[in-house]
Structure 1
Amino acid sequence: MYTFFSVDDHIIEPANVWVNRVPEKYKDVVPHVVEVDGRQLWEWEGHRELTMGLNAVAGKPREEWGMEPARFEDMIPGCYQPEERRRDLLSNGIFASIAFPTLLGFGGRKVADFQDKDAALLTVQAWNDYMLDEWCAAAPEMFVPMHILPVWDVDLCVAEHERMMNKGSKAICFIEDPQLAGLPSYHEEYWHPLMASAQATDAPICMHIGSGGSNNSLSGITNPITEIAAVFTRAARASINMMMSDIPRKFPDIKLVWSEGGIGWIPAALERADDQYKKHSYWSHKASSPVLPSEIAQKNMWFCMIEEPKGLQWALQEFHAENILFESDYPHADTPFPRTQASAKVVFEGVAQETVDLIAHKNAEKLFNFPLSQELIEQYGTPNA
């Protein structure tokens, strides 16, 4: 049996997340569910969106997958009910889980487009309060609290971060490349107050690939499978972008976590990043900092994997096992659920048990300061294969 800590799962937000937590005058402004021709859609500020489809296929045969919208009852309950999520994860040997948002974008970027900024801030705070007060409270020994931020205003980001850390949150959910979302880039000092606060509170910054939106979609591609298959290129770009910035040099204890970008590309990407950093350091004004991108990656960054047996072998040859984390991606299309144990057997074949334990749970326990519940581990025997 493998013992897992998943640093990348997703919540399909229940219909009452926002309407139960805002003043009456904002209930029709913040996200709420409406019925249209037998379908359930999300609506906010008059905008409607279909957010389900491939975001909620856990437990379904692949023949039934699709991008079309769904009703809540079309999903397995673990997609949006914390008690059922707990049961599903435990059945697969997953004893801790961090959940990213779905409706608001994986880093909360969509809220920045709200016209009513008061409603936008309430929307962020309501999601955060729901996650800590209801979702994580349903299984506090298992669900790791993480909060989103009002990404349109760095001062509000710092204030909300401090509010949530005081409330018990463990990590920040942010955007892998804010420039893609029309926000200041990581090469500006704009984000430094947030980075300083994250470093001071020892809060990992979790960035899910795709959280910046689809502005860098492959030109001319109409088949969404292509974008999904090439997602590792976004992980390489986003992480190298951060490695080249001043942020990890100015804040040397910052912790940066990249979800769902894979790991097999890391050795080649770091080799090229170091080479280019050396070649171009003088004209790009980086010569004063001798810290190479690969050194930043090894000291400040963690990368996540799901089903990547070859990628794991490649990464372990040139990178560190201590910087690799497990993710289950429940309930999205990449999840191995409900056969997580069988999947892991293929991934970890031939890997030393000490290394397996680091990747499967020990690295994450240390990173998020969230030890697995030994009581749960003892209570639940060998999970379903």
Structure 2
Amino acid sequence: MDFVSAQVNQTMNDPSVQPFDTTTLLKNAAAQAKQRAYKDFLIVDVDSHHYETELLPEILQFMEDPVIQHLGLSRGQIGRSGLIPQFVGSQDMAGRITRYPGRANEKTPGDQHREITLMHRWMDAMGVDMACMFPTPMLGLSTHPEIDVEVALARAYNRWLCEVVLAQDPRLVSMLYLPLNEPAEAFRMVEEFGSKPGVIGFMGTGNRNRPVHDNSYMKVYAALQERDLPLAFHAIYNWHDTSLAQLNRFISVHALGFTLCNMVHMTNWLMNGLPERFPKLKTVWIESGLAWIPFLMQRLDNEYMMRTSEAPLLKRKPSEYMREMYFSSQPMEMVNNQEALKVTFDMIKADTQLLYSSDYPHWDMDLPSTIYDLPFLNEQAKRNILGGNAQRLFKLNPVFSPAKLKAREIAAAAE
């Protein structure tokens, strides 16, 4: 047993030791937030995650299919139930990300649901006021070979999230998972959950059986547009995908997989004229970073100008439609050339279209300072990206963290 594994096992077996407490793990992030002027900013994290893996028995109580429910309950955990395809662990970096195994050992009081408490702990430490909450292993549901399992588990999770979490806390919102492998069920999800408290849109992931322009999705897109609910494409990777199967390192799959799936979806979305067919449907592209966007703008514009007849529905260049879309910031490529990052921000109209995201608690997370510290942004652009753009897009009623509310009260009393 290596040193890290031994330490993890020893600590998790000792209930008196709590090194995995979220507040302790994020003490440097909290100090960083305190040093900056976050007290005056609404910070909305549009892409954060929790570990629904730990909650399978609870979530399965909301499942309609008794056979699939029994399958999950009989095995105890999502990762061992056959409900979600699993890879051998790579994201945890061989045990170096201690909050992954240790989170289940973290103590919480009984006055509110455990997930709400844990979400608040990291949000308060980082200075985040509101967070869009996504699952983690379940993002891989779209790769499941049994579509009925994807649909059943997605519905159970969405029901659980709406009733148990979102309805109880206005700081937490979500774009609910759509089982796009089954368009009729995706449409049913929009109809059933679209008006629930805390639901600010819907989300599909990167690998599915049909391209995004397939006619079977048009009813789903129309329903979203009618309700003014954004559609997000949350990137994932699939090492079994033929385009990635030649890669022999996770770092390679991570670098290309998260961008490739959204590049494919974006290209199909544009070249098949969906921005013209659904002009009021807002799209959000999540967890692909930013460096791919200028490349795709230039590449598609160049191709379009040479072969416009193959995209007859478009009335403008692809890049012009892309500048009206929304993008999440994480994982923002910040190495080597900040001038290139500035050009990227200019090309995507970041001051109105970019949305801050942390991707917490994943290993490549970004703190709000990732945006706040950029020297080429003025204060208004920082305010927009960190929260204002999300507030406008999702029509959020701002809910500030207790620390920020207290700071405001102190400031008002001093005036």
Residue 7 (str. 1) matches residue 46 (str. 2): yes
Asked if 1:114 corresponds to 2:146, the answer is yes
User: 2:177: which partner in 1?
Assistant: 148
* 1:83 aligned to which of 111, 117, 120: 117
Find the partner of 2:266 among 239, 242, 251.
Answer: 239
The TM-score, its normalising length taken from structure 1, stands at: 0.80
- SS of residue in 2 equivalent to 1:6: strand
One of 70, 81, 100 as aligned partner of 1:43: 81
Of residues 50, 73, 94 in structure 1, which corresponds to 2:104?
73
Report the secondary structure of 1:242's partner residue.
helix
Higher strand share: 1
Q: 2:31 maps to what in 1? A: none
Indicate the SS of the match to 1:196: helix
Bigger drift between 148-157 and 207-216 goes to 207-216
After superposition, the Cα gap between the structure-2 partners of 1:365 and 1:71, relative to the gap in structure 1 and judged at 3 Å, is same
Q: 1:364 aligns with which of 390, 393, 407?
A: 390
* Match of residue 194 from structure 2: 165
CA distance in structure 2 between the partners assigned to 1:272 and 1:325 by the alignment: 24
Matches within 5 A, 1:191-340: 191-210=217-236, 215-230=241-256, 231-282=258-309, 284=310, 286-287=311-312, 289-299=314-324, 301-306=325-330, 307-309=332-334, 310=338, 312-320=341-349, 321-336=351-366, 340=367
TM-score (norm 2): 0.75
**Cα deviation code 1:299-332 (max 9, x no counterpart):** 2x11111344436412223231211111100111
Aligned-partner SS, 1:113: coil
- 1:344 CA drift (Å): 4.2
| Distance in 2 of aligned mates of 1:281 and 1:172 | 31
Does structure 1 conserve the Cα–Cα contact (< 8 Å) formed by 2:134 and 2:174? no
1:324-363: per-residue Cα shift (whole Å, max 9, x none)?
A: 1111001111113xxx2554444x2231111111111111
Letter in 1 for 2:249: N
| Structure 2 residue ranges without an equivalent (≥5) | 1-36, 109-113, 409-415
Tell me which moved more, 200-209 or 240-249: 240-249
Q: Take 1:211 and 1:173, find their aligned partners in 2: how far apart are those partners?
A: 16
Contact 1:171 1:205 in 2 (8 A): yes
| Mean CA deviation greater in 164-173 or 201-210 | 164-173
What is the CA distance between 1:149 and its match in structure 2?
2.4
CA-to-partner distance for each residue in 1:43-95, whole Å, 9 max, x for gaps? Answer: 046x774687636x8xxxx97139xx947636798xx7221211211221111
SS of 2:326's equivalent in the other structure is strand
Take 1:102 and 1:31, find their aligned partners in 2: how far apart are those partners? 19
Separation (CA, whole Å) in 2 of partners of 1:26 and 1:121: 11
Worse overlay, 327-336 or 209-218: 209-218
Q: Distance in 1 between matches of 2:169 and 2:306?
A: 51
2:129 to 70, 82, 95: 95
d(CA) in 1 for partners of 2:401 and 2:105? 34
Could you tell me which amino acid in structure 2 is paired with residue 101 of structure 1? P
Distance 1:229 1:121, change over 3 A: closer
Q: Secondary structure at the match of 2:70?
A: coil
Corresponding residue number in structure 1 for 2:7: none
Which one has a bigger Cα radius of gyration? 2
Write the distance in 1 (CA, Å) between the matches of 2:179 and 2:245: 30
1:204, 1:254 within 8 Å by CA — same for their partners in 2? yes
Residue identity in the other structure for 1:324: L
Seen in structure 2, the aligned counterparts of structure 1 residues 267 and 26 have a Cα distance that, compared at 3 Å, is: closer
Q: Distance in 2 between matches of 1:120 and 1:229?
A: 26
Is 2:61 the partner of 1:20? yes
Q: Once structures 1 and 2 are overlaid, which stretch shifts more, 2-11 or 351-360? A: 2-11
- Checking the alignment, whether the CA contact within 8 Å between 1:271 and 1:294 is kept in structure 2 is yes
Quick one: distance in 1 between partners of 2:300 and 2:344? 16
Task: For residue 132 of structure 1, report the CA deviation from its aligned partner.
Answer: 1.1
CA distance in 2, matches of 1:93, 1:71: 23
Instruction: Kindly indicate whether residue 54 of structure 2 is the aligned counterpart of residue 54 of structure 1.
Output: no
Higher relative contact order (CA 8 A, sep 6+): 1
Residues 114-166 of structure 1, C-alpha deviation per residue, up to 9 Å, x if partnerless?
A: 36x3x6543222100111112223422x1113222232322221122111013
Q: Could you tell me how far apart the structure 2 residues matched to 1:162 and 1:218 are?
A: 35
Contact 1:30 1:120 in 2 (8 A): no
Conserved 8 A contact 1:90-1:380: no
Residue ranges of structure 1 left out of the alignment (5+ in a row): none
Conserved in 2, the CA contact under 8 Å of 1:270 and 1:293?
yes
C-alpha deviation, 1:225, in angstroms: 0.9
More displaced 10-residue stretch of structure 1: 189-198 or 370-379:
370-379
Please list the CA deviations of residues 253-298 of structure 1 after superposition, one character each: whole Å capped at 9, or x if unmatched: 111111111123322321221111121122x2x2453222112112
Report the RMSD for the aligned CA atoms in angstroms.
3.3
User: CA offset at residue 97 of structure 1?
Assistant: 0.9
Query: Does structure 1 retain, via aligned residues, the 8 Å contact 2:181–2:210?
Result: no
- Say which SS state the counterpart of residue 332 (structure 1) adopts: coil
